[in-house]
Structure 1
Amino acid sequence: MTASGSHKGRSLVVPGLAALVALAILIGLGTWQLQRMAWKEDLIAQIQARAYGEPGAILPEPEWASWRADRDEFRKVRVTGTFLHEFEAPVYGLAPGERQGAPIQGYYLITPLKLASGAIVMVNRGFIPTDLRDPARRSESQPTGDVTITGLVRAPEVRNTFTPNDDPAKNQWFARDPQAIAAAHKLERVAPFLIDADASPNPGGWPRGGQTPLTLPNNHLQYAITWFGIALTLIGVFAAFAWRRLQGPASAELK
């Protein structure tokens, strides 16, 4: 190889390394989207298989210790018990508004339901707007005696780095976490899952159940194709750049 050719080859090292890093990132993003697609398809299949039809019973208490979301979440169930309204936990959240892209701020009411056996299941009774957080403003919303709830089994809400810390002393909650709520009120024999109540009307109109999203978007294949397409474009652009650099006159390299 001539000195000029060697110099041209060395001049491609830094751009080549940068292109390889970018290519690895793009391929990683595309692969991640394919993994997300598989997860989303499995989730959609679970919803279709479990969320419709006649409701069944919840998992018996002796089996709660081995409860797994992938086996039971989104299953339609019916359960009877008595609400412990004094332990009602309003969890901050958003609900779809009348206009798309304009959600309503408010709370999801998580209320312990005491079963005849003495065990407790947390029920997400539904959504209330911010101005109804105080139970005194919706006195009809707290039925007494035995109630029967139909809804879907849900896993505890997963916290992330953006989830604020709960403040049990002020009854401020930011995640639908049955065990955290139970611990704050010293409740025992609490199920590791929740029940999202269906849209059956509550006295006074609040809270409004049926908030579980059952139609999930699945655009991950489109995103994966986009990332892989950009990766192929990067390869083509770098190949053209390298060819021009290697074929260019030596004088251009030495300026």
Structure 2
Amino acid sequence: MLATLIAVIGIGGFSWLGVWQVQRLHWKLDLIERVEARIHAAPVPAPGPEAWAEIASGAGTQAEYTRVTLAGRYLHDEEVLIYTPSDYGPAFWVLTPLLRGDGTVVLVNRGVVPEAEARTGEFLRPQGEVRLTGLLRLSEDHRWLFARRNAPEAGTWYRRDVGSITEAKGLARAAPYFVDVERVGDAWPRGGRTVVRFRNAHLSYALTWFALAAVVATGYVLVLRLELRRG
């Protein structure tokens, strides 16, 4: 009786986990397909204030990685350097607020700059009206387990946390997202560094759970055969 109960729980539980991972696999494949379509689609105007509440509420995942266009004037005095490892060694993202014609502000990730150039400030700072195209990205509000903390009071940043940056800089009417600009030329900073990669191990997880269900079933059959022989 106990062996049967354990077998039912084990087979049922592991099988349910396997089915769940198959469902997650289909969800992840659909997500990858939708994101691939977004990053290669024709750009659309960056969302204005009327869409900010929805994006900030968590529904922004439906807009993330959308190609967008925007125009305005860079506020270089308010730029923020955010540390990041890169192909060029230690480097920094250059996030610069862009003041748009309607008075709203959007943080723009202008690209990566190697540490030496970042420390000396030897990189381009376009003046006047600019027009750009890039990918809409959601704020990195949450810190990874071992990630270093942002220190706004010291001007030290490790995450592209839009809310913290705009608050530290006193920027009103700021969008809750930032934009990764596309690469144009080889000057620093260099855009087009967005990593669009989604870990997809759901198939291996599903096979593992189904295998465990099979192991439990096989063990139960062996127990039954042993009991029959004893009987």
Relative to the length of structure 1, the TM-score reads: 0.74
Question: Does 2:165 align with 1:184?
Answer: no
Tell me how many residue pairs correspond in the alignment. 227
Question: Does 2:141 align with 1:150?
Answer: no
Question: Does 2:29 align with 1:41?
Answer: yes
Give 1:84's aligned residue: 75
The residue identity in structure 1 corresponding to 2:114 is: P
Structure possessing the higher radius of gyration over alpha carbons:
1
Name which of 137, 148, 152 aligns with 1:164: 148
Contact 2:93 2:111 in 1 (8 A): yes
Contact 2:10 2:213 in 1 (8 A): no
1:37 Cα shift? 2.1
Contact 1:23 1:234 in 2 (8 A): no
- After superposition, the CA RMSD in angstroms is 3.1
Contact 2:110 2:189 in 1 (8 A): yes
Counterpart CA distance in 2 for 1:220 and 1:78 is 35
The residue identity in structure 1 corresponding to 2:30 is: D
Contact 1:93 1:108 in 2 (8 A): yes
Counterpart CA distance in 2 for 1:131 and 1:217 is 33
Q: How does 1:154-233 map to 2 (within 5 A)?
A: 154-162=137-145, 163-201=147-185, 205-214=187-196, 216=198, 218-233=200-215
1:176-232 CA distance string (max 9 Å, x none): 221111011111100111111112236xx2222112234546442243223322332
Structure 2 gap ranges (5+): none
Counterpart CA distance in 1 for 2:183 and 2:137 is 16
Runs of 4+ in 1 over 4 A off after TM superposition: 16-23, 26-29, 247-250
Give 2:100's aligned residue: 115
The residue identity in structure 2 corresponding to 1:92 is: Y
1:55-99 CA distance string (max 9 Å, x none): 22111223322333233222111111122222222223334x49x
After alignment, is 61-70 or 170-179 more displaced?
61-70
1:115 Cα shift? 0.9
Percent identity between matched residues is 30
Relative to the length of structure 2, the TM-score reads: 0.80
1:135-190 CA distance string (max 9 Å, x none): x2x42322222222210111112524514321002222232221111011111100
1:244 Cα shift? 5.9
Q: Sort the Cα spacing of 1:179 and 1:20 in 2 relative to 1 into closer, same or farther, 3 A.
A: same
**Secondary structure of the structure 2 residue equivalent to 1:92:** strand
Structure 1 gap ranges (5+): 1-8, 99-103, 251-255
Q: Sort the Cα spacing of 1:48 and 1:172 in 2 relative to 1 into closer, same or farther, 3 A.
A: same
Counterpart CA distance in 2 for 1:249 and 1:214 is 60
